Structure 1
Amino acid sequence: MKKREIIIGTRGSKLALWQAEWVKSELQKLNPDLKIELNKIKTTGDKILDVPLAKVGGKGLFVKEIEEAILRGEADLAVHSMKDVPTDFPTGLHLAVICKREDPRDAFISGVKGKEFHINSFKELPKGATVGTSSLRRSCQLMSIRPDLKIEQLRGNLDTRLRKLDEEQFDAIILAAAGVKRLGWAERITETIEPEVSLPAIGQGAIGIECRVDDDFINKLIAPLNHEETSICVRAERACLKKLEGGCQVPIAAHARLIKMQDSGYKIQDKDMHRESFIVNHASGLLVLDGLVGSVSGNRIIKSRIEGDPKDAESLGIKLAEDLL
C-alpha cells in the first residue's frame, strides 16, 4: 500500500484517545510505514456538562464536529464509541468499519461506604442510596427494580465520574463496562450487570470508524479492522434504533448476540419467555436480538425478543422495533 500520512479525528477524553490510539496501532501493525496523527476535537457533548443529555436535545452530540472536520479535510477518518453514533450520516460520509466489541454490559461500581458494608450488587444498596448515571436507559431499568433508590445525574468523562464517586458525591455509579476495562480500571467494577437485568445501549462496547464514501485509500486501509460478528450485531441494534427514531430523550435499549451452531439444529431454553424452541441452523448461526422501550420513571417497560438468520440482521432490527411500538 502506498505510503501516506493520515489523520484520525477523535474526542479528547482518555477513553476516546485510547480508542483512537488502538485503531492507530492496529493500522500500523498492518502498514508499518504509515504515519498517523490524531486531531483532538471538542464536541458539543464535551462542552455542555451541566445539562442532562436528554435536555440538550439533538443527535450526534459527540460526533458532529468530528464529522465536519472530515468534510473539511482536517481528518481522514473518525473513531467513535458506537453508542454515540447517530443512525444517519452527513452526505459523503459513512460508517465503514465496526471493530470487535468489548464487554457490552453495564458496570455497577460501589463507593466508599459500599466497600465498608461489603455491598456486592446494586440490589444490596440500602434504601434511599444515591446512584449516579447520565443514562435514561440505565435509570429506567434500575428504577423498575429498585424504585427506592435515588438516581442523580452524572456527567463527565470516566475519570471524572470515578473521582466524584471517590469524593462520596454518590453511593454508587453505573458505567459502561467496556470503557472501564479499556482504561485498565476493571478492578473498580463491583458487579457486571447481566443484560437480563440492564439491557445495554445500542452499540455499547463497540468502536466504529467513519470516513468519506469516496476515499478509496482509507476505505481499503481500514477494512481489515472490521469484525464481522460485531458488525452484524451492531447493525441489527442500530436498525431497531433508527426505526424507533430514538436519541437520548427516551429510554431505549437493544442488544444482539450471535449464537454459533455446529449441528443442523438445536434446542434453546428461553428463560424470559418460559419456552423451549428448536432452531434450524443458519450459515453463520442464530442472531438473537432483545429490545426495550421504557418510561423515564421505570414504571412501564416493554420488552421483546426476535431471532433469525444473521444475514437478515437489519430487517430483524426493524421487526423488533415494530414489536416494541
Structure 2
Amino acid sequence: MRTVKVGTRQSALALTQTNQVIDRLRRIADDAGIECRFEIHKIVTRGDQILDVTLSKVGGKGLFVKEIEQALLDGEIDMAVHSMKDMPWERQPGLIVGATPERVDPRDCVVTRGGVPLAELPRGARVGTSSLRRSAQLLAYRPDLKVESIRGNIDSRLRKLESEGFDAVVLAAAGLHRMGWSDRISDYVSPDVCVPAVAQGALGIECRADDTFMLDLLGRLDHAPTAFAVRAERQFLGRLNGGCQIPIGAYAIVRDEADGGRLEMTAIVGSPDGSRLLKEWGRGDDPEALGDLLAERLLAQGADSILGELRG
C-alpha cells in the first residue's frame, strides 16, 4: 500500500478543500482496486506569512504555491492541492497539474451586515476586499463605494466585517460553499458586474511529472469541461503576464460539454480606481487561441498602458 503525502496550506479553507479531494480520491481508489492511504502535510507559504501588506504590493508570483511546489520537487510530498487561481502561469519544470476537479461556483459574493445586497448598500459604504480586480470592477459599478484592502484567511476577513466596521466584504463564493457557509452570503455578484479571477472556483492538483502512480490516480479525478475552460482563462493570464498584483479577470464557459464544447469567455483589464475598465468577449473551440485572442483585443484597446503603469 502506497502512502500518498498531500501538501496544502494550513488555512481552514485549504484544509477543508484538501480533505474533500482526499475523500474523492479514496472512493476512486477503492472502486479501482488501488491500495493507498493519504497523509496531510501542512506547509506555510510566503503569502501566508505576509498579512499586513496588500497582495499587489507584495509582488512576485506563486506567493501561495512556491514552498509547496518545492516540497513536491524535493520528494517531501507526492501531490499538492492548490486553489487554481493562486497558481502562476509559468509552470515549474518537473511538475504537472494531474487533475482539475469540477469547478465550484466561480462568482464573487458579498457578505454584508444585515444581509443587504450590493446594489442596496448605502452611498459611501465601506467595502473590504483583498483583490485589485474586485476593487476595479466594484468602483466602476458603484463609484460611491469606499473600497478598502483587507488581508487574511476567509474566516478572519469575515470577522473584520464586525471588528473593523465594514459594511460589506467581497469574497469568492467557492470558498464559502466549500466551508459550508453558504448561508452567510448576502448577495452573489453577477459576472456581468464583476468578472471572476482566472480559474476562480477551480482546484489544481499537482504532482511530479514522472510519478506514473499519481498521474493515473489523479487522471480519474479530472473534469474535462472545467479543465477546458480553465485552459482558456490561464492562457489569457499568461499572455498578459498577469498575477494578483494586476486587476485582470477572465471567465470561460463550455456551452456544449458533450464533445469538448464551444467556449465563450469574457475578460477584463482595469485600473484599480475603476476609472478605466476594458472588457472583451469572444468564443471559439481552441482554449489557447481564445485566451490569446481576448488578450490581443484588450491590448489593442490600451490594456498595455494600464498594465505598464501598474508594474511601474
TM-score by length of 2: 0.92
Q: What letter matches 2:203 in structure 1?
A: I
Pick from 111, 136, 139: which aligns with 1:140? 136
**Is the CA contact 2:97–2:207 (under 8 Å) kept in the aligned structure 1?**
yes
Pick from 269, 276, 296: which aligns with 1:300? 276
Give the aligned partner of residue 264 of structure 2: 288
Give the aligned partner of residue 198 of structure 1: 194
Deviation at 1:214, TM superposition (A): 0.8
How has the CA–CA distance of structure 1 residues 261 and 97 changed in structure 2, closer, same or farther, with 3 Å as cutoff?
Answer: closer
Higher Cα Rg, which structure: 1
Deviation at 1:150, TM superposition (A): 0.8
Q: What letter matches 1:51 in structure 2?
A: V
Alignment partners' CA distance in 2, 1:248 and 1:36 = 31
Alignment partners' CA distance in 2, 1:257 and 1:241 = 16
Alignment partners' CA distance in 2, 1:177 and 1:153 = 18
Q: What letter matches 1:14 in structure 2?
A: A
Answer yes or no: is 1:160 the counterpart of 2:153.
Answer: no
Deviation at 1:166, TM superposition (A): 2.9
Pick from 199, 202, 208: which aligns with 1:212? 208
Pick from 284, 297, 301: which aligns with 1:323? 297
Give the aligned partner of residue 314 of structure 1: 288
Alignment partners' CA distance in 2, 1:62 and 1:323 = 30
Segments of 5+ residues of structure 2 without an aligned counterpart are 300-312
How has the CA–CA distance of structure 1 residues 261 and 26 changed in structure 2, closer, same or farther, with 3 Å as cutoff?
Answer: closer
Give the aligned partner of residue 86 of structure 2: 84
SS in 2 for 1:88: coil
Give the aligned partner of residue 12 of structure 2: 14
Give the aligned partner of residue 241 of structure 1: 237
Give the aligned partner of residue 170 of structure 2: 174
Q: What letter matches 2:214 in structure 1?
A: I
Give the aligned partner of residue 97 of structure 1: 99
How has the CA–CA distance of structure 1 residues 210 and 171 changed in structure 2, closer, same or farther, with 3 Å as cutoff?
Answer: same
SS in 1 for 2:230: helix
Give the aligned partner of residue 265 of structure 1: none
Alignment partners' CA distance in 2, 1:140 and 1:152 = 11
Please show how residues 68-79 of structure 1 align to structure 2 within 5 Å: 68-79=70-81
Pick from 104, 109, 112: which aligns with 1:110? 112
Give identity over the alignment, percent.
52
Deviation at 1:168, TM superposition (A): 4.8
Residues 136-189 of structure 1, C-alpha deviation per residue, up to 9 Å, x if partnerless?
Answer: 000000001111111111111111111111325311000000001110110110
Q: What letter matches 2:62 in structure 1?
A: G
Alignment partners' CA distance in 2, 1:284 and 1:238 = 17
Please show how residues 44-55 of structure 1 align to structure 2 within 5 Å: 44-55=46-57
TM-score by length of 1: 0.88
Please show how residues 269-288 of structure 1 align to structure 2 within 5 Å: 283-288=259-264
Give the aligned partner of residue 24 of structure 1: 22
